[in-house]
Structure 1
Amino acid sequence: MNIATIVLVYVVIWWMVFFAALPIGVRSQHESEEGVVEGTEPGAPSNPNLLKKALYTTLIAAVLTTGYYFLVDSGVISFRAPR
């Protein structure tokens, strides 16, 4: 498996995990104690914690990509046509 494939798999896994993590722990402005900021949507998140989610996503994507690499390298998963 070449480096371009590994990078592509990592990027795809990263975005999938990131989009799955976005709604976790988010409270809208009308649910928070601070209240709604004037001129914003009441359903907008008060603190989405994007940096924290991006860091967790990076670690999870690295682990999943490493697992994928070893599964493909060992031959457990093969995308080649049988001969």
Structure 2
Amino acid sequence: MRWQSILAIYILFWAFSVFLVLPFGVRTSQEAGAELVPGQAESAPHGFSARRVVIRTTIVATVLFLIFYLNYVFGWVTTEMLDWVR
């Protein structure tokens, strides 16, 4: 596999992983014990840490990509192994 393909696939894994990571660790202002700002929705997050999301996303994407790449190299699961291909 060419390095450009590896990079493109990793970027896709990273982009999908953002949506997996975003809901974890979110606390509302009520849960954090802070007062609501006038006009703020009760379900709005109290604080957002982009750095924390980026770090978590990178870890998740790297693990998922490594599983994908190792499967590509060693052929643990191939299309011939799947029943729906026949």
Structure 2: runs of 5+ lacking an equivalent: 80-86
5 Å-filtered alignment, 1:2-21, equals: 2-21=2-21
Alpha-carbon deviation of 1:78? Answer: 5.0
| Percent of pairs with identical residues | 28
Q: Where do 5+ consecutive residues of structure 1 fail to align?
A: none
Whether 1:62 aligns to 2:62 is yes
Give structure 1 regions of 4+ aligned residues with deviation exceeding 4 angstroms. Answer: none
Match of 1:45 in 2: 45
Identify the range of structure 1 (55-64 vs 42-51) with the bigger mean alpha-carbon deviation: 42-51
Once the two structures are superposed, residues 49-83 of structure 1 have per-residue CA deviations (whole angstroms, 9 ceiling, x without a partner) of 3311210111221122122112112233557xxxx
Is 1:73 the counterpart of 2:73? The answer is yes
Q: Structure 1's 77 and 12: CA in aligned 2 closer, same or farther, altered over 3 A?
A: same
Bigger fraction of residues in helix:
2
**Normalising by the residue count of structure 2, what TM-score does the alignment of the two structures yield?**
0.72
Question: Over aligned residues, Cα RMSD in angstroms?
Answer: 2.2
The answer to whether the 8 Å contact 1:36/1:42 transfers is yes
